[in-house]
Structure formats: structure tokens, C-alpha cells
Chain A
């Protein structure tokens, strides 16, 4: 590849995803610093440095991913999926306990969270299935059985870890892909009824105690203000006390005085709201929307069904994370441990989101290759 062609390919390279990601991450890292700087423990107050390191690593991985040809990804889709399933089973068998749940797989010095990777793997597998040539018109129940299996099996494995949030997320991703892939409205109605019915049965028998408590708490947080409703109330106080312009950078009292647990991961949005208020949140939400819109635009700008479905799947990862996390911290939804993309602390999730951007970039680039 000579110099001119490098320039040429750089010109065709779609930086938009990385730019949007970086913009949000920039706000995120500043916010993370603010949330943790007052902590008594050195490990906490140095968290932002680790997050920066993770960003550097995941950015380089994502750039690497952006050069992977979609054709290759297509052909390895099932393989990646299968490999990921094996990892999930391994986690269940010999996973390391963290936060009362088995989510990690320790490979030497590396801690891998296969459920994170599964979010992408399941999209790839679903996209491959949905891009079969005979699926032209709207889809019915019959065409949905196998892809549903593809999604439900890993979802169950993840729920068994137990990580209800990510498990449900896989199902939500699947449902959005199915919707996008032109599922009949009638079929959707039937599925909705089935899900609601089984959901209520699940609530009664399938949930762990603390999970059920979270749902009860969500419905009535004042019930146990110091117990399981604590996070929900403190989070709302944090957000509300930000008012229109916020208390200002590094001035969150809820976080610095440790009223809000997990304020650097799941509840980072509360701190952001406390410090930057309504105005700051509007800016952040606009950035997210720009990112999402870019995905949605890309999904119909490609020529291959596989690419289109993958793009929309990736969008759904971002969308569900963002929506659920925001809804949860402001008391619209029960508390489920899902991180806010590029804002929450956490190497695994950051890697996932960056890789998503890398795949999207690759798809966008391949659009211009012809």
C-alpha cells in the first residue's frame, strides 16, 4: 500500500463513531474524576487513571476491529458465538465470585467477562441467521424460532450467573433486531402476551430474593429508605439537587460523602446530574442521540442485510444500556446493574462499547469500497 492509497483510505475512513464515542468519554472521564476524587481510599481516587488506560487499550483494539472485513466477520459469526457460549459455560463452572455473582473468567492476569462479549456475539449470530436469502418479506413466528433460541440460550446462561440485567439485555437486543428485521405486528402481539404471562410467573418463582426486592423497591422506594430503597432515593436526591445548572464540578455532596453507593459505575449519571444539572444532561443526551442516529442512518445505508442487522444490533446495545441506566437512576425503572456507555467506570464494558464502534466503522468503511 503506497502513501497515496493510505491517504485515500483515510479519507474514506469513517471517524464519526470514534469521535462521538470520544466526546462522550471525555465528559465521562472528567465526571469519573469528580465522583471519585474525594474518596478516602487511594484505589478509588486513582480510578480515573485506570479508566484512561482502559480507554487507550480498547481504542486500539477497536481501531484494529475497524479494519476487519465484514466478510470475514460474517463467515466467523457462528464460530464466535459458539466459542462465547463455551466461555459462558466455563464461567458457570469455575467462575470467580465478584459482587455475589460469578461473572468473571480469569485467564492469567486477565479477567474476562464473557457476558460482555456475548452482547456482540449474539448480534453477529442473529445477523447471520437473519441475512439468509429466503427471508425476504415480513417474518412470522416460524422464522423466529431458531433466532429466538440463539438469543435465549446465552441469556439463560447469563441469568444463571446470576446477572439478570445483562441476560434481559440480550433478549432486548434480540427483540429490537427482530423488530427491525420486519417481524409481523401480529406475531409481536402474540409474543408480547406470552412474555407478559411468563414474566409474571418468573417473578413469582424464578427470581432471587434481592432481585424481587429491587422490583418492589422500584414500585415503592420510600418503603425501606435505609434498606433496598436506599440507592433509589439517594440517587433521586443527587439528581434533583443538581437543579438547572448543577452544583458545579467536584461539588457533588452525595458522592463525595458516600451517600450514593456505586457512584462511579451504575450511578455515575446521578453524579453528573448533581454537578451539571439539567443543562448538562441535555448536552450529554444530545451527544448520545447523535451517536444513535449515526447507527440508525448507517443501518439503511449499507448494501448487505448482514451489515444492516449488525448495525441495528449494535445500536440497540447502546440504546438499551443508555435508556435503562438513565431510567434506573432517576427512578423510572427498577435498579438493574447496567453501565452507562462511556460514562460508567469499567474496563469490560468500555471495551465492548469501543469494539461496537469499531465494527460500525468497519461497516461504514466497507460501504465505500465498491
Chain B
């Protein structure tokens, strides 16, 4: 029999086998280590570095926009967003839920809302793309998230610069707005390798987007597996030799716009649908350009809610449209000025020509009415302009013909874009015979000429064109290119581009004709029978022309009905174009009030408000003088009116007396003649 010791000894062989097994196992491990660490080590080393380095873009701050007086009107403000990066969320469902509920508590929003957002926005995109949970965090919220960050893997705070518009609604159309660039647009707008987040969508923001944008930089940051930035700088030389690129801020823009005028214009348009353009008649600088209704561009870069967007899009008055340049209207009587210029230039009439206005003009079987039912009687060019006699212009229009009129209208910039540095400018329309033939194949009718000479039917102008044309009259015949940019300068103050005066057309008005027209326009506002006499404002000293733009053609029975009685959408547009001061023009203003009925009552006060503000600011001495002059004139006017009244009364008395006497005479005669 074996002793127990022998039984143990019998296991020697198996023990050796086990020993070999251990050796083989270790050999496998060592071989694997060799493969990973020596054979493939370099690749893994590189990978381990890439693992922890993240290239973070640094967005360049967008350039700021200033008014002509260096007031800041568009700037950037830091904002904070809470985001979740799905990739770094805890794999464990309960832990993930914990993170979300913690975040929901901090942000004071519903947990479900976060989950929905993650599901909806995360669909179909890579898991490393952050999903914004809440925008515009308060400093307190930011602080809490930062301190509790380690408890919420996958959550981080994104700080960025938000675009803010100082005056919000005021001048929104001119300044435009920026919004996030869509994925499919990036290629179209991206320049070089610069990261793109926002682009200008309208106005100056769009037109000068590449100047304002700047160039993004990037930096390498060390992150942990949850995407959190690691604060402690590692003691090995990982970040040595890796270059960050600094961002280059965008250029700043100084506009020609006067902020005070903008505010005044915006206020003057309160409750109205329309626009106003004010320009410096001597250099074409736009001082003010406002369109209402307006929108708040800050909302686009901050937090454009779908409700706000829907409200803008669904608004019948289309607040997104810049009515000053993107909308055109029949200019109405404001266009008569140019008919007059054409007739004068062509030598059809002169200062002394008088035409009789019986209240209508008969062309074939059709009667063309003057706005004054019983007519103006004898009308010369001054009276025709100041009282806006239609028949006067019908008569010269027939002689003039549409093509000649179009030639002069074009000379003043109508029918073509002004070339303002703003997107989507419309060109309006000046019809010709050829145009009509091309358009619908029919011959031009003489009756259409009659409509066109008084600025109705086919003639379409933008408020900006109208203002520029009146500015050309004001400065004696120079059509200027409108300018909104004074200069573009870099962040260090270096001037990159200075906008110079540009002339579209020179010497388009002979000086004696200019004098006649100016005199006529002056009478519009400064003689009691002028169409804008009652709405000329106080101490303005402007010269201008009212206009009424027919929205629909009126049947003859409605021609003289009250505009205010019509349905809103059928009411006429009120138009007014003017310049001031009349003797030494500085500013030209064009106003269109949609469905305002009259150029005088609706549009003229808006223009005078802006001009008053302008004069107060730039020529206070003259403004004072004008006010005094106005007082004097009004006193004179009142005196004259009193006198006229007294005279009329005396006359009436005398007439009554005469009548009574005649009656008495008759009576006595009757008595004499009994049978």
C-alpha cells in the first residue's frame, strides 16, 4: 500500500503540468503586452492624447454698429446656455435620470421637457453634438451648474456672445438681424476655415456680414471622458507645440443714421403702417429710415421662440418688410412735380402759362375728374403744384406723352434701384409704351397717360426713391447715391473703409426750372390754399408735396366720397415728400402712410416731426428764427382772415341791403302795375 506521502508524490507530474500552464498563461500575457505596448504602442500613445485634447472654437465677437454721433446701437453681450452632450451622459439609466432631474431642478423647468428635447433634437445627429436645454441662464444658475458639474456628467454651460440692439424695434429693418446658420447653409457662407455660428439675415447685418463677422480662432483644451474641461494643467508637456489661434473680432460700422432722428421718426409713426426716409440733401447720407410695424431683432440672436416667429410671419402688416425700400407705391400727386419738370424742360409751358380747370377733363367719351369737384378755375404752374390741380397736369400730360415723362422720371432715379447698401431693394416702375407692349401685348392708351401724370396706375416708387428725387430738387439738380455707412473701422480704431460721396446723376435740373418748382413746392406748405398748409408744423420752413396713392380704382360715384368711410384696406395711402429749410435745404424727407387717406393729414405731420427734430439738433438758431417767422406769418394770416371776414360780412350786408332795396323797388313797381 501507498503511504499518504506517496500519494502526494504521485501528483508531481500534474503539478509540473500546472506549472507549465502558468508559464504558458504568462507567456500569452507578455506576448499580448508586447503587441499592445511595443508593436502598436506609438499609435495607442497618440490616440490617448487625442482622446483628451479637444479643439474648441473661439467665436469671434461680431463688429459693433454705431450711429453717426457714435452712440452704440448694436453690440454684444455675454449670455449663458445650459447644454447636454448626449455622448457624455451616464450610460446607467437611473443615473442619467438623476442628472436630468437635478438639472431640471436648477433650471426650474420640467424634467419631461428636457427628455423631450433630448429625444427630438438628438434624433439623427451625432451624440457628441450638444443639445441646448435652456438659454439665457442667470448668473446664479450658471454658478450652481458649475459647482454641481461633477454630479451631472454630460451637462455643461456654454457661454457665448449675444447680439443686442439698443433701441430694439426702432430701425430694426435698417439694422437687420442675425440668426444661427443652418447646417445646409454653412458651406455657402463660410469663408476659409473660420467657424460660423451666426450670419446676418437682413439689413446692415446681412449686407456687411463679411465685414462684421470677424474670424474665429480655436484652442486646444484638455477634457476628461465626460467632456468636461480639466482645469489643472497637466505636468507633462502635452500642450507644448500645439498652437492655438486667436480669434479676430469683426470690424465696426459707423452709420450715417442719427439715433435721435430714428427715435423721433419711430414715435411719429406710432400706430401707423408706413415708413419714413430722411436724407441729407447735400451728400446723400441717410439720417433716418424707419418702417413700421417693426420687430425686435434682439429676439433673433437671443431666443427666437416659435410663437414670436409665427406672430411675425402671420401678421397681415408684415413687420419683417422694410417698407422704405422693399415696398413700392403709386406716388400720387407727389409725382406731379416731375410731370411739371418734364413740361418745363420740354418747353410746353412756362411760368406764365395758365390753364383753365373746370373740375374735369374730357378725353373721348371719358371724363377725368379733378380732385376738386367744381374745379380750380384759372391755374398756373404755382397754383397747379400748391393746390395739386389734376386737370392742369392732364392737359400738359396729353401733350407730353408717357415716354417723355418716363425719360424725366428716370433721370430722377425712378424705376431703378438707388444702390443703397441694403438687401432686397425693389426698383419700382416707370411705364413706357414699349413696356406695356412687352408686358401684356396691348397698345398704350392715352387715358393711362392721364393716370400716370398724376402718379397713379402703373407708376410705382419706393419711399427712398421719392426722397432722393426731392433731395435732387432741393440741392438744385444732383441725384445722389444714398449712403448708410459713414465708415468701417477695425477694433483697434484703424479705418478700413470710408464711404465717399457718390453722384448718380448731375445737373438734371436747369436753375430757372429749379427755382419755379421750389417756389411751387414752397407754396404747398406756406400758402393757405396749399394742400399741406394746415399740416405744415410749426417753425419748420419746409417745401414739399402731398400725394394720395389710390389703392383701387374708384367708380365715378365714389370719387368724391370720404376716404375715411371706406373699408381700411381700400383706403388710399397718404404720401408726403419734402425738404427743409426751403431757402437753404439740408434735409429731405419722404413719408408713406399706408391707408392713411391723405398725404396732408397722415404723412405731413410725420415728416415735420422729423424735420423739427433735425433742425433742433443741428440748426437750433435757425429753428428759433423760423418759429418767430411762423408766428409773424400766422398773425398776418389771422389779420388777413379777420379783414376778409369783415369784408365779406360788409359785402354780405351790402348785398342784403341791395336785395332788400331791389325787393322794395320791385314791390313798388308791382304796386304801380296792378294788373
Contacts and interface: CB of A to CB of B under 8 A. Distances in A.
Interface of A: 38, 40-41, 136, 176, 179-182, 226-227, 230, 234, 236-244, 247-248, 251, 253-254, 256-261, 273-274, 277-278, 281-282, 285, 288-289, 292-293, 296, 299-300, 302-305, 308, 312, 315, 319, 323, 326-327, 330-332
Given A239-B33, A303-B8, A257 B230 contact: yes
Nearest to B41: A243
Q: Which of B10, B22, B40, B222 has the most CB of A within 10 A?
A: B22
Nearest to A288: B26
A242 B45 CA distance: 7
Given A253-B52, A293-B19, A303-B5, A243 B37 contact: yes
B64 to A, nearest CB: 39
B316 interface: no
A330 B33 contact: yes
A237 B5 CA distance: 50
30 contacts: A180-B14, A181-B14, A230-B91, A236-B44, A237-B44, A238-B48, A240-B43, A242-B37, A248-B236, A253-B234, A254-B48, A256-B234, A257-B52, A257-B225, A259-B224, A259-B225, A261-B225, A278-B34, A278-B38, A281-B30, A281-B33, A285-B30, A289-B26, A300-B11, A300-B15, A303-B5, A305-B8, A312-B18, A323-B25, A330-B33
Contacts of A182: 10-11, 14
A312 B48 contact: no
Interface in B232-246: 232, 234-236, 238
A282 B41 contact: no
Nearest to B92: A100
Q: Which of B4, B30, B33, B34 has the most CB of A within 10 A?
A: B33
Given A180-B11, A240-B40, 13 more contacts: A182-B14, A237-B51, A239-B37, A241-B45, A241-B47, A242-B37, A277-B37, A282-B30, A289-B26, A292-B22, A293-B19, A326-B29, A327-B32
A300 B12 contact: yes
Top 10 A-B residue pairs of the complex, sorted by shortest distance between their CB atoms:
A240-B44, A243-B41, A241-B48, A257-B224, A259-B225, A241-B45, A240-B36, A278-B37, A241-B44, A258-B224
A80 to B, nearest CB: 22
Contacts of A278: 33-34, 37-38, 41
Contacts of B26: 285, 288-289
B247 interface: no
Nearest to B236: A251
B618 interface: no
Contacts, number: 154
Contacts of A282: 30, 33
A38 B224 CA distance: 12
Nearest to A330: B32
Contact of A257 (B7, B47, B150, B222): B222
Contacts of B48: 237-238, 240-241, 253-254, 274
Given A251-B236, A253-B48, A254-B51, A239 B36 contact: yes
A73 B180 CA distance: 76
A274 B44 CA distance: 10
A323 to B, nearest CB: 5
B28 interface: yes
A144 B613 CA distance: 109
Given A273-B37, A277-B37, A299 B15 contact: yes
Nearest to B42: A243
A278 to B, nearest CB: 4
Interface in B591-649: none
A305 B9 CA distance: 9
A300 B33 contact: no
Given A296-B19, A327-B29, A240 B41 contact: yes
A240 B150 contact: no
Nearest to B10: A182
A274 B34 CA distance: 13
Q: Which of B23, B48, B91, B238 has the most CB of A within 10 A?
A: B48
A227 B34 CA distance: 27
A326 B232 CA distance: 31
B149 to A, nearest CB: 10
B234 A302 contact: no
Nearest to B45: A241
Nearest to B232: A38
Contacts of A319: 22, 25
Contact of B15 (A237, A242, A289, A312): A312
B33 A296 contact: no
A320 to B, nearest CB: 10
B189 interface: no
